[in-house]
Amino acid sequence: MLVLAVKANNAANRRRFAGKGVVHQVSRCNTFRMLNKKTISILIVVLTSSVAFSQSAPEYTGDGQLKVPANYREWIYLTSGFDMSYNPAMQMGHHMFDNVFVNPEAYKAFLETGTWPDKTMLVLENRGAEGKGSINQNGNYQGTDRMGLEVHVKDEKRFPDKWAFFGFGDAKTAKMVPLEASCYSCHAAHAAVDRTFVQFYPTLLPIAQSKGTLSPSYLKESTKPAQK
């Protein structure tokens, strides 16, 4: 009887320990699954960020033309202008809006440093101004037709002046605007930060002021009395 009792007790212990082993095994499997889910989530975030960066970096054709950034309207919106012109003699026969966008990586860098990193792309989109439409009776709103598209690119190894302009119109690619064009000298003389008109970007101008990155030429201009 004693032998039978011992055998029964040993069998019960084996079943109990086997059960614990199963529990431990299930626990390890659950932990492994949780780690796998976390790892996959991290990989998705990293891959998504890499794709976003590649989409917002400048891309060129074999003959050096810039490809239009197709997703620029998903970038950071900076400002809009209305009938702006840097030439007092210029007269337009219509009203126009200008919208400015910048690639997200450059925007984040500017928030931290107050200046633009390499591979910055600023997109200037032109749209006609509409007056009468739907319930609008006064003022202007933007039309659906795009009237022009310009891109200002900072690519330090590619361009002698680090920055270059490209005018697209309706094309998908564009040649670099020649360095003799007035836009280069105008930006060099009047830009608030690193060849760009940050003075017209209301959320970035205070950052440049706080970081001390405003150009001497702009600081000199900004102290002059406003022209009437």
In tens digits, what is the pLDDT along the chain, a chain of 228 residues? Answer: 444 444 455 555 555 545 555 444 545 555 445 546 555 554 444 344 444 444 589 999 999 999 999 999 999 999 999 988 887 776 777 899 999 999 999 999 999 999 999 999 999 999 999 999 999 999 999 999 999 999 999 999 999 999 999 999 899 999 999 999 999 999 999 999 999 999 999 999 999 999 999 999 999 999 876 655
Would 168 be classed as within a structural domain? Answer: yes
Q: Is 123 exposed, middle or buried (0-12, 13-18, 19+ CB in 10 A)?
A: buried
Would 43 be classed as within a structural domain? Answer: no
Output the pLDDT for position 223: 87
What's the CA gap between 188 and 197, in Å, rounded? 10
Would 105 be classed as within a structural domain? Answer: yes
Output the pLDDT for position 210: 98
Would 103 be classed as within a structural domain? Answer: yes
Q: Is 3 exposed, middle or buried (0-12, 13-18, 19+ CB in 10 A)?
A: exposed
Pull the structure tokens for residue 125. Answer: 């989109």
**Rg over CA atoms, the chain:** 30
Would 38 be classed as within a structural domain? Answer: no
Please tell me the total count of domains within the chain.
1
Would 28 be classed as within a structural domain? Answer: no
Pull the structure tokens for residue 80. Answer: 């809009």
Q: Assign residue 149 the CATH number of its domain.
A: 3.50.70.20
| 3-state secondary structure string across 139-152 | CCEEEEEEEEEEEE
**Percentage of the chain with pLDDT > 70?**
73
Would 144 be classed as within a structural domain? Answer: yes
Output the pLDDT for position 48: 44
CA distances (Å), 88 to each of 7, 26, 83, 91, 92, in order? 106, 78, 12, 8, 11
Would 104 be classed as within a structural domain? Answer: yes
Residue 169: give the domain boundaries: 66-180
DSSP the chain: -HHHHHHHHHHHHHHHHHHHHHHHHHHHHHHHHHHHHHHHHHHHHHHHHHHHHHHHS--B-TTSPEEP-TTGGGSEEEEEEES--S-TT---SS-EEEEEEE-HHHHHHHHHHSSPPTT-EEEEEEEEEE-SBTTB-SS-EEEEEEEEEEEEEE-TTT-TTSEEEEE-TT-SEEPBPPTTSHHHHHHHHH-SBTTB-GGG-TTTHHHHHHHT---HHHHHHHTSPPP-
- pTM summary value: 0.74
Output the pLDDT for position 9: 54
Residue count (the chain): 228
